[in-house]
Amino acid sequence: MKHISVSVIALAVATFGFASGAQAQQPKGKLFFEGDIVRHALPNQAGPFCVLVNQYKPGEAVAFRIRVLQPNGDVADDKVLKSVVVELGNGQRLPAGFKSHGNPPTDYFWSLFWSIPKDYPTGTVGYKVIATMNDGSTVEWKPFNRPTTELMVVAGEPEMKKN
């Protein structure tokens, strides 16, 4: 019986040592991203809002919703990250804020919205998300590179509320 106890303790120590070694080898600055784009509410527009969509008309607004996770699975909030920025394909940088969503709040994540200018050209709008750590290092994320799912500006006018 004593031999089994010693074996179990040795196995536990070996497993703990292996787990600690694996954690120590996590690359510094590695983050995980979750996110989507949804239609953002603008005055007098018909909606629906906060629904997944990738095609927008000039004059509509895109809401970028981003969750950043640390290697241990904890949320990387505004205490962990210096900033989160969405960079459009044309180089325009849009800062996100970490805030609550819902009333009462049901979730907390990084977000921002971009109102598409009326004269913005139609076509695909590439973008990437850049998270800056408190030490100044950055980690980037890009969405899937599939034409049917990329953010796209299409011709037309936003649908307005009916009076």
Residue 60 is assigned to a structural domain of this protein: yes
Per residue in 88-141, pLDDT (tens digit) is 999 999 999 999 999 999 999 999 999 999 999 999 999 999 999 999 999 999
State the pTM of this model.
0.81
The two tokens of residue 17 are: 């040592």
Strand partners, 87: 93, 128
Residue 132 is assigned to a structural domain of this protein: yes
Domain count, the chain: 1
Q: Are strands 138-141 and 107-115 parallel, antiparallel or unpaired?
A: unpaired
pLDDT > 50? residue 12:
no
pLDDT reported for residue 151: 97
Residue 18 is assigned to a structural domain of this protein: no
Q: In what order do the strands lie in the sheet with 152-153?
A: 55-56, 152-153, 123-124
Instruction: Count the neighbouring beta carbons within 10 Å of the beta carbon of residue 143.
Output: 17
Per residue in 26-45, pLDDT (tens digit) is 445 589 999 999 999 999 99
Residue 2 is assigned to a structural domain of this protein: no
Per residue in 39-75, pLDDT (tens digit) is 999 999 999 999 999 999 999 999 999 999 999 999 9
CATH of the domain at 144: 2.60.40
